Amino acid sequence: MEEIIKIEGIVKNYGKHKVHDGLDLAVQRGECFTLLGPSGCGKTVLLRLIAGFEQPDAGKISIGDTVVTDPAGGVNFSPDSRGIGMVFQDYAVWPHMSVFDNVTYPLKLAGVSKDEMLARGMETIAMVGMEGLDKRLPSELSGGQQQRVALARALIAKPSLMLLDEPLTNLDANLREEMRFEIKELQRKLDITVFYVTHDQEVALAISDRIAIMDDVGKIRQIGSPWDIFESPADPFVFSFMGIANFLPVKRSGKDYLVGNGSQIINWEKPSNDSSDWVAGFRPSDVEIAHGGDGLRGVIKRASFLGATMDYLVDIDGTHLRTSVETHEALAKDLMFKDDEPCVISFRNLLWFDAESLKGIEKQLEGKGAMA
């Protein structure tokens, strides 16, 4: 595998604020690589460093075989000499220019002939599904169509590398869902490398060959396939970032593992070493909920109908946990619970985390999971 982007020891400070402090990262040619991290962790700053709109305080960036950024060696290639297409977070399209003029603007700057501009402009407009709209002004387009204009403008110079910064945030849910498959399709068809930046884990799962998870201080926590990241999270941060996460404190007592106030035993394969403080991590769909039988006894604190699923917040000895049941299953199996009803939960899947590993990520967990 050949690296198309190589980031080595990047340091970037704004005054006293350290955004990146020795970051290393490599993207392989031809892959769709997603950098996923919370707001403010330094994703846009990193893309701007790669594209050449910002300079790091230290470190090196290479594109293919060329070192394009190396302040120590006095190297700083201009953005337009890096051969990169970029779609910015706010996807600024020029309001006074037609779709055609917006899309072909990079060719105009490059001094390409009128005939070639017309041919490539129309071809690229068609590629993003905007045939017939070339004469419109941005104000006559929907948000999603404006997004396509920005995408076409980045594609027209036929870059082998595209940097996409949250290009779908301003779109409504249905359009976002559709556009992410289109981006993936374009990436395959044009055989380009995509470096995609987002805080939306569903987009990342849908389009990526590999995902890197960055935490709020710009540290990479895990790099892997969507499957690896979702099924084998490296730590509680990654686990909680990839979806609704429950963390249930568990204490070892002899052979038993006890939850909450110690009155209930958790029945699951034991963790791999015998420290005494553990946290059981699981997602709402990892739980089976019932009226009785084996499992942890709790009480429904809140029953919510979410359409396809029923969402139940369950109180187990003072810890609140999010659980879910598909609505049709809940109806078929008499699992439509009401507030304050007793229930029993058992696990389909559970991950053990060392209680220590949750320290320092309380901020990220706020409002995300159901940690009590």
Ligand X SMILES: Nc1ncnc2c1ncn2[C@@H]1O[C@H](COP(=O)(O)OP(=O)(O)OP(=O)(O)O)[C@@H](O)[C@H]1O
Question: Which residues lie near ligand X (CB under 6 A)?
Answer: 14, 19, 37, 39-45, 89, 199
Grouping H, G, I as helix, E, B as strand and the rest as coil, residue 212 is strand
- Decide whether 98 or 169 has the Cβ nearer to Mg ion: 169
Least distance between ligand X and beta carbon 224 (Å): 20
DSSP symbol at 53: S
Least distance between ligand X and beta carbon 164 (Å): 12
Least distance between ligand X and beta carbon 341 (Å): 40
- Decide whether 47 or 321 has the Cβ nearer to Mg ion: 47
284 binds, among Mg ion, ligand X, none (CB under 5 to 8 A by kind): none
Q: At what angle do helices 143-155 and 99-109 cross, to 10 degrees?
A: 20
249 binds, among Mg ion, ligand X, none (CB under 5 to 8 A by kind): none
Contact indicator for 344, 329 with CB cutoff of 8 Å? no
Contact indicator for 238, 221 with CB cutoff of 8 Å? yes
**How far, in whole angstroms, is CA 227 from its chain's centroid?**
13
Least distance between ligand X and beta carbon 105 (Å): 25
Longest pairwise C-alpha distance within the chain: 80
| Burial (CB count within 10 angstroms: exposed 0-12, middle 13-18, buried 19+), residue 35 | buried
- Decide whether 45 or 156 has the Cβ nearer to ligand X: 45
- Decide whether 40 or 342 has the Cβ nearer to ligand X: 40
Tokens at residue 49, please?
């460093």
The DSSP line for 164-195 is: EESTTTTS-HHHHHHHHHHHHHHHHHHT-EEE
Separation of first and last alpha carbons in the chain = 45
162 binds, among ligand X, Mg ion, none (CB under 5 to 8 A by kind): none
Q: Which residues bind Mg ion (CB under 5 A)?
A: 43-44
- Decide whether 159 or 167 has the Cβ nearer to ligand X: 167
40 binds, among Mg ion, ligand X, none (CB under 5 to 8 A by kind): ligand X
Least distance between Mg ion and beta carbon 9 (Å): 22
84 binds, among ligand X, Mg ion, none (CB under 5 to 8 A by kind): none
Cα torsion angle, 168, 171, 172, 177, sign: negative
- Decide whether 23 or 151 has the Cβ nearer to ligand X: 23
12 binds, among Mg ion, ligand X, none (CB under 5 to 8 A by kind): none
- Decide whether 12 or 43 has the Cβ nearer to Mg ion: 43
Least distance between Mg ion and beta carbon 44 (Å): 3
Least distance between Mg ion and beta carbon 247 (Å): 28
Tokens at residue 7, please?
């980031």
The DSSP line for 68-119 is: EEEGGGTEE--GGGS-EEEE-TT----TTS-HHHHHHHHHHHTT--HHHHHH
39 binds, among ligand X, Mg ion, none (CB under 5 to 8 A by kind): ligand X
